[in-house]
Amino acid sequence: MHNWKAVTTLEQLEELYGEPVPISITKEIESLSPGYRAFVEKAPFVIVATSGAEGLDCSPRGDAPGFVRVLDSKTLLLPDRRGNNRVDALRNLIEDPRISLLFLIPGVGETLRVNGRAEIVVDEELCASFSIHKKLPRTVLVIHIEKVYFQCPKALVRSKLWSADAQVDRKELPSPGQLLSEICENDFSAEEYDAAYPERIKSTIY
């Protein structure tokens, strides 16, 4: 057991960090400005955070830039593409509509954070408007914006996330099959799983 000193009160936290940088408060608004909208429309990737009775979930979502559609300055539309049917985020939203989004754009240091509340919609016409290769999302998240602000690039600069020389060779990490072989029963074949993986991704991408 580590004998670390924990911060347990807001007073302790504020004593450690002091007041927020003023501009960090100014840049938080309740709807999309034209500049914030541009970030959403250029982003091919967003991380979606939700909370429910069974716990927290943080899930990646990605597609061509603009896949998160701006309906208006207070509303975003996010299609739920084909996945593994765990639907952890959707289960959470049934119980707690609060949602947080983090938009990332390759090569751009700033990120955009959106907090709000989401509805899970099954409207046929709306889902059809997100059709790709004649594949429709089963549902669309209608996200009602409450707070939006951009994050400075310090984290991406420190991590060198977009730097080519910081990229990791995939072979340095366990393959999907190897990861599963550590968890599944002894008769699971990592080699067979990995061999079929590229075609599986291709055939189930939408």
Which segments of the chain belong to CATH 2.30.110.10? 18-159
The predicted structure's pLDDT at residue 54: 85
The 8-class DSSP code of residue 164 comes to G
| 87: nearest Cα among 145, 139, 142 | 139
* pLDDT at 13 exceeding the cut of 90: yes
Instruction: Determine the pLDDT at residue 115.
Output: 98
Q: For residue 125, how many other CB atoms are within 10 A of its CB?
A: 6
Strand partners, 72: 75
Q: How many CA atoms lie within 13 A of 74 on its CB side?
A: 4
Q: Which two tokens stand for residue 79?
A: 């299609």
Band the pLDDT of 99: cuts 50, 70, 90: very high
Q: How many CB atoms lie within 10 A of CB 85?
A: 7
Q: With a cut of 80, say whether residue 1 has pLDDT above it.
A: no
Share of the chain above pLDDT 90, in %: 91
pLDDT at res. 2: 87
Helices and strands counted in the chain (H then E): 8, 7
Query: Which CATH class for the 18-159 domain?
Result: mainly beta
Q: Report the chain's mean pLDDT, rounded to a whole number.
A: 95
pLDDT in tens, 45-93: 999 999 999 899 999 999 999 999 999 999 999 999 998 899 999 999 9
What's the pTM? Answer: 0.93
Amino acid 149: pLDDT: 97
DSSP H stretches of helix in the chain: 10-17, 22-26, 34-42, 88-95, 124-128, 154-159, 176-181, 190-204
Per-residue model confidence (pLDDT) at position 187: 86
Distance between CA atoms of residues 125 and 135, nearest Å: 13
Q: Are 43 and 112 in contact (CB under 8 A)?
A: yes
Q: How confident is the model at residue 186 (pLDDT cuts 50, 70, 90)?
A: confident
pLDDT of 105 over the 80 cut: yes
CB 147 within 8 A of CB 116: yes
